[in-house]
Structure 1
């Protein structure tokens, strides 16, 4: 099964990176879910949670303040002004 390769970074540190089966984030246009095979996307993040589901079903949550989310070829990059694990 294809996985996502996710990276969540803030202005001064890498918060989390690894493989995932799904990512949900809040954008200025509303919540968006990303699964493997998602079309290329560039979205502006709104303040809120970034929820990552790992291959074993475990979930990781990070708070993110402003920034952007990009998706291309199953690589998801979340770049936030401030971010940290919950």
Structure 2
């Protein structure tokens, strides 16, 4: 089964990292959903939730402020000025 390697970080700490099936985040262009095999993308985050569905099926939700989301080779990095688990 394909999976994503996800890191959600704030400017001063790591919020969450692990393996996931899916991630959904709010960008300045609207919501984006990322699944394994997604094309490379760099997006600007808007203030809102970042929802990560883990391999086990749990949903991790973080509130994130301004930042960016990067996807390449099944690796997703979310970097926000401020972020924390909800």
TM tier relative to shorter chain: over 0.9
Alpha-carbon distance in 1 for matches of 2:57, 2:82: 26
Alpha-carbon distance in 1 for matches of 2:55, 2:76: 15
- Normalising by structure 2, we get a TM-score of 0.99
Alpha-carbon distance in 2 for matches of 1:15, 1:60: 10
Count of aligned pairs between the two proteins: 86
Alpha-carbon distance in 2 for matches of 1:59, 1:85: 11
> How far 1:56 moved relative to its partner?
1.4
- Normalising by structure 1, we get a TM-score of 0.99
Alpha-carbon distance in 2 for matches of 1:2, 1:28: 28
Alpha-carbon distance in 1 for matches of 2:6, 2:37: 13
Alpha-carbon distance in 2 for matches of 1:54, 1:47: 22
Structure 1: runs of 5+ lacking an equivalent = none
Paired position in structure 2 for 1:42: 42
Give runs of ≥4 in structure 1 deviating > 4 Å: none
